[in-house]
Amino acid sequence: MTAAEVFCDRPCELGEGPLWHPLRGQLFWFDILGRRLLTRTAAGPQAWSFPEHVSAAGWIDADHLLIATETALRRFHIPSGEHEKVADLDAHDPDARSNDGRADPAGGFWIGTMGKRAEPGRGAIRRFHRGEVELLFPGITIPNAICFSPDGRLAYFADTPERRILRVELDAEGWPAGRPEVFVDLSAEGLNPDGAVTDAEGALWNAQWGAGRVARYLPDGRFDRAIPVGGLHASCPAFGGEDLRTLFVTTAQEGLTAPDPRQGLTYRCTPGVAGRPEPQVRA
């Protein structure tokens, strides 16, 4: 078992939403509570600050990201840092924010929202598609683990306090075509599912909050292996790097008393399997 090493030593209060931009060969990620979008290139580290929480992104083209803030989805211009609203999320709820999100293979973007104090059932998962935002799953407390099977026929997600990862079938346009069913039940182990991504073999990698690891589950839900990371609160993985064979994992300091220097950093490892390029958002 290979432990992860530090990729970026800038600590995040709540690191989340790593995205490898396939056209730029560049990793972007967020500090939700720090209200920052971060990246690192050969020229060094870079960050952009926002007036509200930011949490997840998809790529639109070489120069633009679709970014989820606490109130809206915004089109972000990477070279200038300028951004404009594309669609509202919970614009009229000052106590809500966005959380986990990811583009789907049909060109949509799934985004979870939640109460800022994780109030039970206050959140939801929505889908942005062709300029419109539609409610998919209401009554969620902490939406996480949003990702998709390589063939685009399945979506995965979790409500972290429930300690289960669910899956649901999708139609040809990427909309849910049935009722969610349990993919992995982590309650017996006391594990908290956070962000997730699938690899080229269709297995799901899940960052597990409080466990300091990212775990791989095969397409039938069986546990395969886990890779430890230095941050106790592992929050979200993303494949990137050359041939998509590097797995990046964000972590968080949130909820830790006197966190040590390993907490809240962004890590990387070589898991021995390739990922897949993130789908383009059709914004």
Q: Active-site residue numbers?
A: 194
| Residue environment code for 79-111, b if the CB has 16+ CB neighbours within 10 A, otherwise e | eeeebeebbebbeeeeebbbbbbbbbbbbbbbb
| Residue environment code for 21-59, b if the CB has 16+ CB neighbours within 10 A, otherwise e | bbeeebbbbbbbbbbbbbbbeeeeeeebebeebbbbbbb
DSSP assignment string, 32-73: TTTTEEEEEETTEEEEEE-SS-EEEEEEEETTEEEEEESSEE
DSSP assignment string, 109-120: EEEEEEETT--T
- Are 136 and 112 in contact by the 8 Å Cβ rule? The answer is no
CA dist 169 and 180 (Å) reads 8
Q: Which tokens belong to 279?
A: 């789908």
Picking from 252, 248, 243, the residue whose alpha carbon sits closest to that of residue 268 is 248
By the 10 Å C-beta count (0-12 exposed, 13-18 middle, 19+ buried), 201 is classed as: middle
CA dist 143 and 239 (Å) reads 21
Q: Which tokens belong to 36?
A: 């920052």
Give the bridge partners for 112, in sequence order.
125
Picking from 1, 6, 3, 2, the residue whose alpha carbon sits closest to that of residue 263 is 6
